[in-house]
Each structure stands twice: as structure tokens, then as C-alpha cells.
Amino acid sequence: MLPAAPPPAIVTAAIITAGGASRRFGSDKALARLGGQTLLERVAASLENHAPKLIVAPPGKYALSGWQNVPDTRPGEGPLAGLEAGLGVLKTGALEPRLWAAFAAVDLPYLTPKFWKRLAHFREPNAQAVIGHSSDKRKQPLAALYHVSSLSTVTALLDKGERRMLALLDELAVIEVSWAELESAAPQAYQNVNRVEDLSESSI
């Protein structure tokens, strides 16, 4: 009797949403520098082990080696629209049933490869999202894993005018991960950059 074939490997893509207006920041946040790198480069480095790699932003705005630019199909509609654009590109072919995406906002420069590996550890069959909690127990949907099967729900929410990422979580099969499970992998994972002052206050 032949041994059972191993289950197909789970594929994890990467999506960075970088199409925001950066109004509070005052300039293009993605190109601001921290520790010798742009915020975009820092977030991309945390996702170096994923493929394919997608940046959702206006056409021609950013160029990053190894990353594919994806146009923001609903400009100004926020990160939920960025997730829709990225998942829409990924929803093709035989990969689909086992395809997840690590989804990150460009203003989270303290994410690490270990963070994503730790989060992926909690994936379960039939789950559609894996999200972490910050130290104050808030859900953090802007650095999370989403299965490609969540795309139809994302689109339905946007079509009816809903733009909140937390509203998406109410509609999906979600695995929630405590901060205690994630802290050692990225102690500042959810510290975002909204103002120029946030860069000067960094511990880097």
C-alpha cells in the first residue's frame, strides 16, 4: 500500500496596502524613513518569506524589487478596499483553496518575519482570518492573515458602503490570537506611524 500523500502546502502571499492619503502625516508616509529604511521597505522586509508579493497603491507610485504593483480599484475607500484589490489578484487557479495572504498597512514598521510566522501557526481548517490582539486587547485587522475565500465578503461590504475592517471580522470565521502569544515575536508590532513625531519618538 502506498503511503498517503502529504497534504498540499499552505501558500501565504503578501499584501501591503499603501494607498492612503497620509493627511495627518503631511507627506507620503510610505516613503518616510525610519532606521535607514522607508516605512514601505520595513514592512516589505517583514514579509520577505511570502510569495507572491503585492503592493496596493496608485499606479506607478512605488517601485520595490520583487513586488508587484496592484492598482487601488476603489481609491479613497481605505484598507478594506486595499484588501479587496490584493485578494482579487490572488483569487486565481489551483492555488486558491490553500491560499492565504499576510495583509499589512504600510504604517506598521515594527512588524517582523517572526510575527507573521507566529500568527500563521494559529491557522485552522475552515478559518478565514487570523488576527492578533494588542496589549490592550484590541483586535488588530491591519496586520493579519486573510484567506482568499474572504474576498466575496469584502466586496459585499464595500458595495453597501461599509469601509471598517472590524466590520469584516464580524462576517468571517476568525481565529483570534492573544498579545501574550505574539509579543516576543514583535514587541512593537502594532505601533503605527500617523505623525512625523512618531518617527522621532521611535526607540530605533
Q: Is 117 assigned to a binding site?
A: no
Q: Is 107 assigned to a binding site?
A: yes
Q: Is 114 assigned to a binding site?
A: no
CA distance 61 to 48: 21
C-alpha cell of 169?
Answer: 471580522
Q: Is 60 assigned to a binding site?
A: no
Q: Is 12 assigned to a binding site?
A: no
Q: Is 28 assigned to a binding site?
A: no
Give the closest residue to 112 by CA, choosing from 174, 170, 187, 40.
187
Binding-site residues from annotation:
17-19, 29, 72, 107
Which residues belong to the annotated binding site for Mg(2+)?
Answer: 107
Instruction: Provide the annotated binding site for GTP.
Output: 17-19, 29, 72, 107
